[in-house]
Amino acid sequence: MAEKVSSGSRGKPIRCRAAVCRKPGEPLVIEEIVVAPPMPHEVRIRIIYTSLCHSDIVFWKMKDFPGIFPIILGHEAIGVVESVGEDVNEVSEGDTVIPTFMAECGECRDCKSTKSNLCSSSELPFKVSPFMPRYGTSRFTDLNGETLYHFLCVSSFSEYTVIDIAHVTKIDSGIPLSKAAGLLGCGVSTGVGAAWRTAKVEPGSTVAIFGLGSIGLAVAEGARLCGATRIIGVDVNQDKFEVGKKFGLTDFVNAANSENKSASEVIIEMTDGGADYCFECVGMASVVQEAYACCRKGWGKTIVLGVDKPGSQVSIPSASILCTGKSLMGVLFGGLKPKSDIPILLNRYINKELQLDEFITHEVTFEDINKAFDLLIEGKCLRCVICMNDQ
Amino acid sequence: MAERVCGGSRGKSIRCRAAVCRRPSEPLVIEEIIVAPPMPREVRIRVISTSVCHSDILFWRIKDFAAAMFPRILGHEAVGVVESVGEDVNEVSEGDTVIPTFLAECGECRDCKSPKSNLCSKLPFKSSRTAPFMPRYGTSRFTDLNGEAIYHFLSVSSFSEYTVVDIAHVTKIDSGIPLSKAAGLLGCGVSTGFGAACRTANVEPGSTVAIFGLGSVGLAVAEGARLCGATRIIGVDVNEDKFEVGKKFGLTDFVKAANSENKSASESIIEMTDGGADYCFECVGMASLVQEAYACCRKGWGKTIVLGVDKPGSQVIISSSDILTTGKSLTGVIFGGLKPKSDIPILLNRYINKELQLDEFVTHEVTFEDINKAFDLLIEGKSLRCVICMNDQ
């Protein structure tokens, strides 16, 4: 049971529960850990809700580098500031915040440009690091004093975590803290942003989405909000069509139905030449290649969102690159800047324009966190929210 | 010697000289051929000057793949005068100055009507076949004196005193503009490079640009980037002499490729630009260079644009993680993303107004008889554009 949040814990280590992953692919173990106080430019946060994302699964299973253990996974969450380190003015104790794997220092060339969301602050470039980004050290130890590794600068599968201020987005105090808001820390922002900000889907567009997990359906939601008239979903699971309709899906292609034609051939046919925008939301090079094949020549854009295993490569014929006018790009966090854009999306949710609650298909308590893994692996959920609050 | 252009040849076959490629990599043979009159929607053109482009060389040499077709009349960059038109041609008349292009613009299809595409879908460009016939009928207008059909090339076939071109592949030049050798360069190379910089990449003032391959296309990219206000234009080539040549087109820096003692060109570029160039252009036609160009464009917003024509079957390979986490984009484009009929006249005007350099690309001139010298010069890397003057007066 976590120690009560009070000014009494400020500056001291906190003893609390975390779901520790000690070996690749094995159930997480709820155990007591010690969370050090935040260093300068860091914030210690009490997690209220967190959710499981496919990227957690990818690293949970990873036996070789960059997989590293024991680790506290989780990177999509919402919480409350328990205390701040020195030189933190942006947030105060009690603020509602959403931590993100993406940094926004606000000062580097990329943060100042509208064309990039890849913060290039020398201490904070995006990399899969097992430590706090600014110091290269961990704030977590187990009861034997052994270091526990961080994950993507968030580590939200813990009652308390420590996050660098560049990875913290403050939520306006007038907005009630909700489970759904945590989804903006990764999945929904990634998908909606990709359609809205990266692709800049225009009204009347035709969009194809490969992979109808939360990210793919968030792309659909974003494309719907942008006025796309045709949103084609591709998945091996036929049930995803019904689920997808509420997010704007107008058509469905079953990728497992490969008797005569590939999904891309079907899409080229049904769109008379290809989709204006194709999104890959699975994380497989072969699917990236398929998405590229069925985006329309002339102006088609293929956008990659899925996280593939390390070492994977995409191969495209030179003649296709040269002669079709198609473009290929990938994007993290949908091209959004967390601190600037999460509040915008949150407002759209509050105003009932953007759907968030509909992504939550299951809820479990912290003790049952491994059920969330099972549900996602079996393809039975979109977002399963893990409720940390023990009151 | 070509028969005189006059109303007398209208509707009839013309007997004239052409530089025929009969076997891969062998010198072209100047021989007499017969050029049939234009079918409906076609235009027969007397070529005034033409130039050799690297793509001519590529398909001159090719032995394998479906693209190897002989005998063939190569050449696709030229300027000429309309000798006669087929039925249903209203856009040009006899005597008009025209520039034929390998890229069509029908003006009616969805792509032609969109500002976002220059890939006409009515008469699509098919790189694998390189257009061995007239696009609308699938037949040839050329026969040799034995009656054997000669293949067309890229819908143009300009290495001939007369050629027949589909109206969708013909750009009319305003009659007030004097016909010049340099204008022909807008039929391919210079438009490709210039358009890639200004239209496709839309280079902004203050940008940093890196160009892999400093042939005419690469230097035309530099020229375009210069006119768009790029402040740093880095050229990469195996030939150091290209730096001096390139300076007149705006090159500010040079990196020698293949200097693999310590660093690759892309590593040098990343270092000298503190992270990578805003725009990288591949103007050679090699997958490994596309990959290098991609490696040294800046993360966050960098764009890599492919202009070079690689051999059929070539593949570009990029790591999935780079695609996802760098925010870079990869695009290819033909004819610089330009629409021939709309954009060639614009570029020609900029040339007339002395804003856009064209003459500076013409480093050599030969007569038609010496066309094989133009091939030699380009293969040896000694020329940018060698213009072949067809006019025998």
- More confident call, B393 vs A64: A64
pLDDT digits (tens, 9 = 90+) for B294-333: 999 999 999 999 999 888 889 999 999 999 999 999 999 9
Q: What percent of chain B has pLDDT over 90?
A: 86
Min distance A29 CA to chain B CA atoms (Å):
30
Tell me how crowded residue B93 is: count the other CB atoms within 10 A of its CB.
Answer: 13
Half-sphere exposure of B268 (CA within 13 A, CB side): 19
Tell me how crowded residue B90 is: count the other CB atoms within 10 A of its CB.
Answer: 7
Residues from chain A that touch B326, judged by Cβ atoms under 8 A, are: 118, 330
Task: State the pLDDT at residue B87.
Answer: 97
Residues from chain B that touch A306, judged by Cβ atoms under 8 A, are: 324
Cβ separation of B125 and A326 shorter than 8 Å? no
Q: Which of B176-180, B258-262, B338-342, B370-374 has the lowest mean pLDDT?
A: B258-262
Task: State the pLDDT at residue A122.
Answer: 65
Residues from chain B that touch A325, judged by Cβ atoms under 8 A, are: 117-119, 331-334, 337
Q: Which of A51-65, A165-179, A228-242, B116-130 has the lowest mean pLDDT?
A: B116-130
Interface of A with B (CB under 8 A): 110, 113, 115-118, 120, 126, 273, 283, 285, 288, 297-299, 304-308, 310-332, 335
* Closest Cβ–Cβ partner in A115, A299, A305 for B114: A299
Q: What percent of chain B has pLDDT over 70?
A: 95
* Closest Cβ–Cβ partner in B116, B127, B321 for A310: B321
Question: Is the pLDDT score of B3 beyond 50?
Answer: no
Reduced to 3 states, what is the DSSP secondary structure of residue A191?
helix
- More confident call, A295 vs A2: A295
> Cβ(B54)–Cβ(B104) under 8 Å?
no
3-state DSSP helix/strand/coil % of chain A, to nearest 5: 30, 25, 45
Phi, psi of B30 (to 5 degrees): -75, 115
Rounded Cα–Cα distance for residues B106 and B168 (Å) = 5
Residues from chain A that touch B315, judged by Cβ atoms under 8 A, are: 315-318
Cβ separation of B320 and A308 shorter than 8 Å? yes
Phi, psi of B54 (to 5 degrees): -55, -30
Cβ separation of A321 and B290 shorter than 8 Å? yes
pLDDT digits (tens, 9 = 90+) for A206-232: 999 999 999 999 999 999 999 999 999
Cβ separation of A120 and B333 shorter than 8 Å? no
* Closest Cβ–Cβ partner in B117, B299, B318 for A299: B117
Mutation pick from B109, B282, B291, B324 vs chain A, by most beta carbons of A within 10 Å, is: B324
Residues from chain A that touch B300, judged by Cβ atoms under 8 A, are: 110, 113, 115-118, 120
DSSP string, B153-196: -TTT--SBSEEEEEGGGEEEEPTTSPP-TGGGGGGTHHHHHHHI
DSSP B388: E
Q: In the numeric block, which tokens belong to residue A225?
A: 């909000």
Residue B234: band (very low, low, confident or very high) from pLDDT cuts 50, 70, 90: very high
Residue A310: band (very low, low, confident or very high) from pLDDT cuts 50, 70, 90: confident
How high does pLDDT run on average in chain B? Answer: 93
Task: For residue A306, give the chain B residue with the closest CA.
Answer: B324
Residue keyed to tokens 């007066």: B393
DSSP A71: B
Rounded Cα–Cα distance for residues B235 and A266 (Å) = 43
Min distance B113 CA to chain A CA atoms (Å):
12
Residues from chain A that touch B330, judged by Cβ atoms under 8 A, are: 321, 327-329
Rounded Cα–Cα distance for residues B267 and A321 (Å) = 24
N- to C-terminal Cα separation, chain A: 10
- Helices and strands in chain B, H and E counts: 10, 18
Pick from B347, B382, B305, B377: nearest CA to B57: B377
* Closest Cβ–Cβ partner in A273, A312, A322 for B332: A322
Task: For residue A311, give the chain B residue with the closest CA.
Answer: B319
Residue B2: band (very low, low, confident or very high) from pLDDT cuts 50, 70, 90: very low
Residue A260: band (very low, low, confident or very high) from pLDDT cuts 50, 70, 90: confident
Burial class for A60, CB neighbours closer than 10 Å (0-12, 13-18, 19+):
buried
How high does pLDDT run on average in chain A? Answer: 94
Q: In the numeric block, which tokens belong to residue A337?
A: 């800047």
Task: State the pLDDT at residue B69.
Answer: 87
Task: For residue B290, give the chain A residue with the closest CA.
Answer: A318
Task: State the pLDDT at residue B67.
Answer: 63
* Closest Cβ–Cβ partner in B316, B319, B326 for A316: B316
Question: Is the pLDDT score of B6 beyond 70?
Answer: no
Min distance B136 CA to chain A CA atoms (Å):
20
Min distance B90 CA to chain A CA atoms (Å):
28
Residues from chain B that touch A312, judged by Cβ atoms under 8 A, are: 319-321
Question: Is the pLDDT score of A258 beyond 90?
Answer: no
Min distance A233 CA to chain B CA atoms (Å):
21
Cβ separation of B111 and A323 shorter than 8 Å? no
Rounded Cα–Cα distance for residues B335 and A270 (Å) = 29
Min distance A103 CA to chain B CA atoms (Å):
13
Task: State the pLDDT at residue B261.
Answer: 65
Cβ separation of A314 and B323 shorter than 8 Å? yes
Burial class for B354, CB neighbours closer than 10 Å (0-12, 13-18, 19+):
exposed
Cβ separation of B319 and A331 shorter than 8 Å? no
Residues from chain B that touch A323, judged by Cβ atoms under 8 A, are: 119, 125, 127, 332, 334
> Cβ(B192)–Cβ(B220) under 8 Å?
yes
Task: State the pLDDT at residue A129.
Answer: 87
Min distance A139 CA to chain B CA atoms (Å):
26
Min distance B318 CA to chain A CA atoms (Å):
5
Residues from chain A that touch B275, judged by Cβ atoms under 8 A, are: 120
Task: Compute the count of residue pairs across chains A and B with CB atoms less than 8 Å apart.
Answer: 142
DSSP B337: G
Pick from B313, B369, B379, B334: nearest CA to B57: B379
DSSP A108: S
Burial class for A348, CB neighbours closer than 10 Å (0-12, 13-18, 19+):
middle
The arithmetic mean of pLDDT across residues A79-97, rounded, is 97
In sequence order, the 6+-apart residues with CB closer than 8 A to the CB of B241 are none
ipTM above 0.85 for this complex: yes
Task: For residue B285, give the chain A residue with the closest CA.
Answer: A318
Phi, psi of A345 (to 5 degrees): -65, -35
Rounded Cα–Cα distance for residues B80 and B86 (Å) = 17
Q: In the numeric block, which tokens belong to residue B132?
A: 């061995």
Rounded Cα–Cα distance for residues B49 and B56 (Å) = 15
Cβ separation of B333 and A322 shorter than 8 Å? yes
Cβ separation of B323 and A288 shorter than 8 Å? yes
Cβ separation of A318 and B306 shorter than 8 Å? yes
Residues from chain B that touch A285, judged by Cβ atoms under 8 A, are: 320
Min distance A284 CA to chain B CA atoms (Å):
8
Residue A128: band (very low, low, confident or very high) from pLDDT cuts 50, 70, 90: confident
Q: In the numeric block, which tokens belong to residue A53?
A: 């994302």
The arithmetic mean of pLDDT across residues A109-123, rounded, is 89
The arithmetic mean of pLDDT across residues B207-223, rounded, is 97
Burial class for B143, CB neighbours closer than 10 Å (0-12, 13-18, 19+):
middle
Task: State the pLDDT at residue A126.
Answer: 66
DSSP A242: H
Residue keyed to tokens 């000669």: B150
Residues from chain B that touch A120, judged by Cβ atoms under 8 A, are: 275, 299-300
Region of residue B93 (left: phi > 0; alpha: psi -120 to 50; beta: else) = beta
The arithmetic mean of pLDDT across residues B351-358, rounded, is 94
Pick from A339, A349, A59, A307: nearest CA to A188: A349
Cβ separation of A318 and B121 shorter than 8 Å? no
Cβ separation of A306 and B318 shorter than 8 Å? no
Tell me how crowded residue B258 is: count the other CB atoms within 10 A of its CB.
Answer: 9
Q: Which of A41-45, B131-135, B245-249 has the lowest mean pLDDT?
A: B131-135
Q: Which of A164-173, A339-348, B60-69, B98-107 has the lowest mean pLDDT?
A: B60-69
**Which amino acid, residue B317?**
I
Cβ separation of A115 and B301 shorter than 8 Å? yes
Cβ separation of B300 and A115 shorter than 8 Å? yes
Beta bridge partners of A85: none
Reduced to 3 states, what is the DSSP secondary structure of residue B208?
strand
Burial class for B256, CB neighbours closer than 10 Å (0-12, 13-18, 19+):
middle
Task: State the pLDDT at residue A1.
Answer: 42
Residues from chain A that touch B119, judged by Cβ atoms under 8 A, are: 297-298, 323-325
In sequence order, the 6+-apart residues with CB closer than 8 A to the CB of A369 are A19, A28, A30, A157, A386
C-alpha distances in Å from residue A59, one per residue of A54, A136, A139, B18? 9, 19, 20, 65
Q: In the numeric block, which tokens belong to residue A390?
A: 């023990």
* Closest Cβ–Cβ partner in B316, B320, B328 for A318: B316
Peptide bond just before A70 cis, omega within 30 deg:
yes
N- to C-terminal Cα separation, chain B: 10
Cβ separation of A316 and B315 shorter than 8 Å? yes
* Closest Cβ–Cβ partner in A126, A319, A327 for B325: A126
